[in-house]
A and B are shown apart, each in its own frame.
Chain A
Amino acid sequence: MYVAVKGGEAAINEAHKLLAEERRGDPSVSELSVDQIDEQLSLAVDRVMTEGSLYDRKLAALAIKQARGDLIEAIFLIRAYRTTLPRFGSSSPVDTAAMGIRRRISATFKDIPGGQILGPTFDYTHRLLDFKLAAEGDGGHGNSLDEDAGSIDEKVLLDEAMPRVVDLLKHEGLIEDERPGDDDDDVGDLTREPMSFPVERDIRLQNLARGDEGFLLALGYSTQRGYGRSHPFAGEIRLGEVAVEFTPEDLGFPIEIGELTLTECQMVNQFKGSAEAPPQFTRGYGLSFGHCERKVIAMALVDRALKGRALGETVEGPAQDEEFVMEHSDNIQATGFVEHLKLPHYVDFQSELELVRKMRRKMARADADNANNEIVEAAE
């Protein structure tokens, strides 16, 4: 006799054991340490911190290890951990103009005060596999492509003052002015209150900063190909360290509580003007924890595209559609719902099966009736 399937609990426990085994891989290969991930897979750590919205390199590295390198799974682990953390308050806004610069480039001016700083970038590497890296032990420095580069001491050589390029345009009044809204003390947080459309820019930027890099990349790309074109120029991309300040309630003045590595992109976009606004440049903004350059450029493109409605532009591309972009940017929401298709749906499927069978029976009967009629007619 048939017995209903049981054993879900045992199956789950066994699956977890298998997962632990697979995660470790061949035990004769030495285990990866969290420090190794932090130091040597640092861009993965940066992405997990950015989309996980939690600045903690060690936790992000641990999440990557636990997730077997699946970055969305690692982001999920960080998000679930983050949600349990108590809030002490909001820091003062960080001042990216006062950033300790490690990389800073502008595509809009040949030279700028403080100069162009190439910094650590893949940009001009030839994408040739470096087989020396496959050999174990890279001789400490690891800079095998560029052995003559010598020691790097860039910070000593850099100018103190590195004004933001967009601020230079602002002095001339050529770019739209941006100020925090009236409620600037009250920075929105979409993890603490549900979004309702249209949203304020603080919520939009938070949504995009947490958004999936691949999704933003595709949307940003689509604006370049004409789906909501915005004539972008990379006004400035900068990477470096900024101080974080916090004003404790009982102290009444700000104190420095730490330092963050940030990547910032300010996009400068052409705008022909409207009935209300003179012709000027407009801005798109991107910001990430760590070094996520592709992400911040894409983010700035999408941020600018989403200004379309407010600027009176025709909204025609998906990147300009606020509800579409913001409701689908979160990879943890997306992966949960897409992957939930793995869960049993037999009840709903049974309902559909029953319906399809019923409809087919009805159709077969109708066909049979028609065929009979034809035979009768032919006989007549």
Chain B
Amino acid sequence: MTQAAQQAAIPDEQAEIDAGAGPDPNYNFAYLDEQTKRMIRRAMLKAVAIPGYQVPFASREMPMPYGWGTGGVQVTASIIGPDDVLKVIDQGADDTTNAVSIRQFFERTTDVETTTRTEDASIIQTRHRIPEKALSEDQILVYQVPIPEPLRFLEPRESETRKMHALGEYGLMHVKLYEDIATHGHIATTYAYPVKVNGHYIMDPSPTPKFDNPKMHRMPALQLFGAGREKRIYAIPPHTAVYSLDFEDHPFDVQQWEQPCEICGATDTFLDEVVTDDRGGRMFVCSDTDHCTRDQEAAE
């Protein structure tokens, strides 16, 4: 672990409590029992071997609510080891309450190093964003997924959507996107924008903004997706082709802002809108807080 990462380690108070304490002896390392880890590990190997396919797994009941990252937590718990350095983000930020809660869970059950610095992390668990900084082959990105089935809102029945995937019958999805164009002049899906993985399966990238979709394409890091409530795991191996669905006359495009980040001045990042008063005052700042802080530091 680099010195930089040590400096960035989460608040001092917590560090003092945890220093050298080791993982909580009341629970197995990373909470899950070994049989559960094996079951999840086997599912992940199949997920990696069949990119974009949703592998059913016997998701466990975790000590945090369904819909709050239980899938991502189970994936992370099944891969994490004492040498890992973990980063957890929600909405791009390390300090959002649920990211803090998940990071604390792993600090308690594994005692691994944690960091906010993207490049220092070996495992990054995320909800709703992909870090701005490009990831490397040595990293694993774990996504928390609420609804893994990209066709679910077109067809609520699993028995039907599974057939559609098996037959590659994705016409319904194209029709839906084209209806958007007919009604609005463009595709009205802005997040959880469907992608095609390695030219085969249509996959839900989790509710990340479509701004992040291009980062998935040929990403050097392994991407793992865990949906706890829906009991599915899927994956994109490194360097895999990931295309956002579009039409020749309506190519895929991403969100753009008219102003730079007001904190760091970045013009190429996803911006959060912050309401500053009740008279229409607002400003735009980076959603990736690590990226923003570091840009600022670099500027100073």
Contacts and interface: CB of A to CB of B under 8 A. Distances in A.
Indicate yes or no for A touching B, C-beta below 8 A: yes
Contact of B146 (A86, A191, A340): A340
Contact of B96 (A8, A338, A359): A8
B91 A346 contact: yes
User: Which of A4, A82, A191, A351 counts the most B-chain CB atoms under 10 A from its CB?
Assistant: A351
Given A9-B100, A339-B67, A347 B229 contact: no
Contacts of B10: 9
A335 B158 CA distance: 21
Contacts of A350: 209, 270-273, 287
A348 B184 contact: no
Contact of B207 (A84, A348, A354): A348
A321 to B, nearest CB: 9
Interface stretch (B55-63, B196-204, B238-246): B55-63
A343 B98 contact: yes
Contacts of A4: 93, 263, 285, 289, 292-293
B70 to A, nearest CB: 8
Nearest to A323: B157
27 contacts: A2-B283, A4-B263, A4-B289, A7-B95, A8-B95, A9-B10, A9-B14, A80-B62, A191-B60, A193-B58, A194-B56, A194-B231, A195-B231, A323-B158, A332-B65, A336-B65, A337-B146, A337-B229, A340-B67, A343-B90, A346-B272, A347-B209, A348-B190, A348-B192, A350-B270, A351-B191, A352-B190
Q: Is the interface of A mostly helix, strand, loop or mixed?
A: helix
B92 interface: yes
Given A9-B95, A194-B56, A336-B229, A347 B270 contact: yes
B267 interface: no
A131 interface: no
Given A194-B58, A337-B229, A343-B98, 16 more contacts: A2-B274, A2-B276, A2-B285, A4-B285, A4-B292, A12-B101, A192-B58, A337-B67, A340-B67, A345-B91, A346-B273, A347-B128, A347-B207, A348-B128, A348-B191, A351-B191
B61 A339 contact: no
Interface string A347-373: 110111111000100100000000000
Given A4-B289, A323-B159, A82 B61 contact: yes
B85 to A, nearest CB: 18
Nearest to A73: B65
Contacts of A90: none
A332 B95 contact: no
Interface string A1-21: 110111111011000000000
Contacts of B27: 84
A5 B95 contact: yes
Interface in B78-122: 90-93, 95-101, 104
* Size category, A interface: 35 or more
Contacts of B188: 355, 359
A150 interface: no
Q: Is the interface of B mostly helix, strand, loop or mixed?
A: loop
Contacts of B208: 347
Given A4-B292, A337-B66, A346-B91, A359 B184 contact: yes
A88 interface: no
Interface in B142-177: 146, 157-159
B276 to A, nearest CB: 7
B65 A339 contact: yes
Nearest to B93: A4
B262 interface: yes
A337 B71 CA distance: 12
B25 interface: no
A194 B127 CA distance: 24
Contacts of B127: 343
Contacts of A339: 65, 67
B251 interface: no
Given A80-B63, A323-B158, A335-B65, A353 B273 contact: yes
